[in-house]
Structure formats: C-alpha cells, structure tokens
A and B are shown apart, each in its own frame.
Chain A
C-alpha cells in the first residue's frame, strides 16, 4: 500500500496527491510515469510523476477526475492509500543544453510538463512555458512553472485569464518572435496534434508525451501501441515521448475511444 501524505484540490475535478513511494522517488527522472491501482478491484491506469522528493520519499501525482478510476483516486485523502503504485516507467526525457525551448501544456498536461520544465531549466536552457486551459480555474501549477521558466504565457479559451485563444496561438507568437530550437508538448491528443502541425510548418523539432490506454505499463500487452513513423511502437516502453512530427495522432485519437 502507498500512503497519500498530502492532498490539494486544484479545481473541482483536479487533485494533487503527494504519495509515499521511496524507491520510485529515488529512481525517477523527468518524463517517467507510474501505473496506479486504487482498491482490490481497481484497474491499472498510467499517471505521470509530476514531481518527486527523494529525501522525503514522496512523488507528486496530479489527477483529473474523468472516470471510474480517477474518481476513486481523486476521492482519496491524506492518510488513505493507493493499493499499488509501480514505476518509474517509460523512458526519461532527453534534455538538451543551451537551447531555447518552448514547453506547452494543456489542462492537466501541465503536471507531466512540470518535471520537464524543471529539468530543461536546470540544464541551462532558456525555457518559455505556454500553459493553456478552457478557463482560468483549470490553469494548474502556475507558480511552480513560473519558478522554473524564463517566461510564462497563459492562454484560456474564454479569455478569463491570460490571453484569449488556443495554445497554438501562444506558441506561434513565440516562434515568430525569436529563434526556438525545440518544442515539448503535453496535453490532450488533439492539442498535441495541432501543436505538431504548427511546428512542422516551421521545421522545429517537437517532442510529445503520449497518453494512451495502458494495462501493465511494462511492454507486456500492447494496449498502448501507436504508429510512429509508420511503425508500431509501445508507448509504455518505447515512449511515452516521441517525435511529434512522426506520430499518427488520428489513429491514436481513434484508439483512445476503444472503450467509449
């Protein structure tokens, strides 16, 4: 069992959990994720490690309540436990040095983006973060992102905070303004698809972190398979990060609806 040490409600549907998992806290790096199970009949779902404190032996998870399992996890309070947490899984992000990097995230995608922003900044890159959400209340982790970014641009669909518009508009403004060496994007598949289309137009290398259906998360089943550059890849062991210009997003979006 993995105890929830601390809980914070970001918004009615989004919770932050600090979970005791010393071995994972010690070995994880930016880009890694865990598979989590809540309750004996619970399913295994993937969640990115948003942050970790090796000294305290804890990891941070940010969970959006979108279904049966996330509802169970979001309803946990400090003192409750997750039944299983396994990881760190996936390949860690490749972090360049001395580049100008745009990190853009939508909704809860900002949580998995945070460790990458931190690692990018720590490696001496110029980091411009573009955070997007439908409305002001859904912008999360802004303070932490600011702490590790040279500049933060906030976009909301309804203009209730920051600039009104989509994430792609914020990213394109930066691209038009200055030399961008790399883009990292995490969020809903459709958002990543349009970021990829935009940066492809400008020829800027772009990494995306894919959030497919998973079961075991260790390469055992292939539920998470995607087509990258015409080849079938398993997100859990070959990813979760891929060259966004080579991912077949339409197939991925289709497969995400398998159980709808």
Chain B
C-alpha cells in the first residue's frame, strides 16, 4: 500500500519552493475562505445541496494559507490520518489529481468526509492557526474540492491507479455503510477479494438512507462506491448476514475473515405516553422514507406524512437533518426540542447554523413528557417539561433537571424522535460465542477491532453505538490493517 509520504513527500523540491514563495505572515493575513451557499429562502424550497463547493481560485488561495508545518498537528485530529499538508499543497500548486490521490490513499470516501465530518472537533480543531488566534485552514472544504474534482475527472484518476496483485483470499464485509466501505477499500488495495453484503436494496448505509440530499447528494456517494467497484469490490444487496446467509455459510464459501459493520440502526424511543400515536416516528423512519425511498417525489410509491407543525426531539446531526427535511417538506413551523442548551448540542456547528438560517426554531431546555392525540389517534400536541442545567454527568455535560411545575403544551401535527440509536441485534444474535456488551455492542480489541471470534472483526456503530462517519471509517481502516496482518503474516 502506498505511503502518503511517497505520494507527496514534504522534502520534494516543488514543496520547498512553495514554502519559500510566501512567508508565514502573508499566509496568515489571507482570510479563511467562505463556502458559497444557496440562499436560505430558496434552498428550503428544494433538495439541492446547500454548500456549493469552492472554485479553483478559492481553493488555491485557501491552500496557500496552510503553513505546511513540519509536524502537522491537524493530522493527529483526523481519525484516518490523512496526509493533510500533502494534499493541500498539491491543491496550491494546481495538481488536483495528485491531491485526490493523496486523499484516496487513506480515505475511501473523501468526498463524503469533506462534507459530513465535524471538522471543528477534528482536523481543523488542531490547526496551528488556533495558536495564532486565527481561523483554521478550511481542511474539510479543500478535501471536498479535491475529491469532487477527481470524481468529475474519472479517466485522469483511473489511469494513475495501479491494480494490486491478487492474493486469492476472500474477505466478507457485513454492511455497506462508511465503516464497511472503508474496510473494503483498504482490503481491495491490498489484493484481497472483497465482497460487501448489504441488507437494503441500495449500497451506502446511512450515507444513503440517513444523510439528506441537501447535505450529501446521493450522486456523490454513488461516485465513491463506483470507484470501489472499479477497483474490484463486489457488492451483494438484499442480503442479510445471519438471516439470508449464515456465518457458517460464509465460512463454507471460503471467506477467511468477516468484518461486521452493521451499524446501530435500531432507533430509541422515550417510552412516554402517546408515543405510538399516528404522526410520531423515528428519524430513521422519516429520513429513510424520504432519502432512500423517494417519498414525496413523483414516480415513487412510498408515502410520508407531511406535517405543518413539526417537532424534532433531539440535538444531534440526525435531528438537524430531520428538522431541515421537514422544512423542505411543507412544515411552516419546524422545531428542535432539546433538553440541554445550544452549547451542549452534539450536531455539527455548520448544520445548526444552516438550520437557524432556514427558520428552524430552537426550543432548548425542553423535554417532551407526553403526546396528546385527536379522536383518530393522530398526534395534535406535545407537553414539554422545562429544564435547567444541573451538575456535569459522566460525559462531562451538565445534566438537565426538570423545573417542577413548569410545563407547556405546544400544538404539533408531526413529531420526529431523534434521541439516539441502539446497536442492531441481528448480527450479535446470529453468531454463537460472540462477546457482546450490556448495551448490545460487539466487544472488540481497540487497536485491532478483533472480536472474541478471531476471524471476526467489527467496527463503526455496532461497536460504538451511534457515532460519526469518520470514526466508523477509522475503525474500518484499523480492522483492515489488523486483518491483513493476520491473513498475510506480514
């Protein structure tokens, strides 16, 4: 597998020249690029991607801001350790194809990650500019720029890909979400025969059914999957491991290793009165109907309820995706109801900001305690308990505590419950002797992602509970490295 340093070595002459060309002070004086985006009034009328991407000029100027640090701390903030200065300096010198190759060397889905990673908590949080009280380099925007460029210049990219020598060893991947795709990408590069099994009728997991078009177009996901396909990864859809095909059958079919990345698809409900009224659904159901099934578009049979006054319960990215989707599907009033305050919200800062621009109401420090229905069993109101912040809990966040007697009622005709997910029990139930935690996650070695069954590795949300795309990808990468070592003896 190509080392990133070989693709874009820091001591290359061109890179030294770039460093000398402009001094640090001048670089630091360039303001951080602003992402061009669709006007809020227009974008709530459609599903078009809000962020429009950088132009070549914007990207090269932003890339110029990067100081090309000798010890780039940004890379420590990236769960898959992308050679960040290596790709950014290639953008600066105008070799975008090479920038994309540097990205692809460590990340199977850079066009996805550039869009959905919480960079403010990862790579960009470690940029040297913070120490100088300046805004960090827009690493995510640049990652997206280089990947989109490469995806629209397929031939140029393809001509540079050298196929790996085949080893004749089959490995199976359960689930085609970010963890599974990342594992598949790394293993195919190492010469294994990789088959990815997906339960749904489309490949991509949460990237397809969860994250909406206006944040991550399906065409972008499809491009990344096509790239894996062209490298030789086989995809089998409509196949549930543990149901359609047993683990024993996989072994009998010659698969030497299985990587389980089946996700944490099981939505949590709060168990409060009235939660099964019509019009109350999980964010998974709501987003799946719209994103995967095309509900609301002509030519698609799946229906979806369209509320005028919609409450979304929760403060994560899924809640933001749901509430912004509701705005685009006819909700004149769309509310986020979150039991803590805005500062504690786990959602990406950019998504919260976009939601605010789009007219979403934020009712923070409120927690639903009961839903009230009409005579047909349709939700018509929610009772909310006002909260205040108490002592910090185990996670370090201050716990919300009810203010006695302070309860309000809000009229709603649709509620999307987005209070988290649990690991899907299908796989844990289907594998004898697999060690599973009390929460239902598969227990693995943190370094190797190996489970209690030596040939079974696992990663992503089935190991972590609900987490992020990039953490899932990092797991896929670590599992691939460990599985490769075990299979090859290297």
Contact = CB atoms under 8 A, between A and B. Distances in A.
Given A88-B243, A215-B288, A220 B305 contact: no
Given A215-B289, A257-B278, A220 B284 contact: yes
Most buried by B among A89, A227, A232, A258: A258
Classify the secondary structure of A's interface with B: mixed
Interface string A69-106: 10010000000000111111100000000000000000
Given A216-B288, A221-B267, A225-B276, A41 B282 contact: no
Size class of the contact patch on chain A: 35 or more
Given A84-B201, A86-B199, A255-B278, A23 B289 contact: no
Interface in B266-315: 266-267, 269, 271, 275-276, 278-279, 281-282, 284-285, 288-289, 293-294, 299-303, 305
Contacts of B466: none
A57 interface: no
A225 B284 CA distance: 13
A43 B302 contact: yes
A140 B269 CA distance: 39
Given A43-B293, A227-B276, A222 B267 contact: yes
A55 interface: no
A243 to B, nearest CB: 18
A44 interface: yes
B217 to A, nearest CB: 18
B377 interface: yes
B448 to A, nearest CB: 28
Contacts of B424: 218-220
Contacts of B245: 23, 27
A7 B455 CA distance: 44
Contacts of A85: 238
A62 B303 CA distance: 23
A89 B426 CA distance: 10
A88 B244 contact: yes
B301 A43 contact: yes
A60 to B, nearest CB: 17
Interface residues of B, number: 40
A157 to B, nearest CB: 27
A255 B425 contact: no
A41 B285 contact: no
Given A87-B243, A219-B266, A255-B278, A44 B284 contact: no
Contacts of B33: none
Interface string A222-259: 11011100001010010000000000000100110111
Contacts of B243: 27, 87-89
A258 B305 contact: yes
Interface in A52-70: 68-69
B215 interface: no
B347 interface: no
A221 B240 contact: no
Nearest to B282: A222
A42 interface: yes
Contacts of A83: 201
B265 interface: yes
Q: A-B pairs with the 5 shortest C-beta distances? A: A221-B285, A220-B265, A254-B377, A43-B302, A43-B301
7 contacts: A27-B243, A44-B302, A89-B240, A215-B288, A221-B288, A222-B267, A255-B377
Interface of A: 23-24, 27, 37, 39, 41-44, 68-69, 72, 83-89, 215-216, 218-223, 225-227, 232, 234, 237, 251, 254-255, 257-259
Interface of B: 199-201, 209, 237-240, 243-246, 265-267, 269, 271, 275-276, 278-279, 281-282, 284-285, 288-289, 293-294, 299-303, 305, 376-377, 424-426
Given A69-B301, A216-B288, 11 more contacts: A37-B201, A41-B299, A44-B201, A215-B293, A218-B240, A219-B266, A219-B424, A220-B284, A221-B267, A255-B278, A258-B279
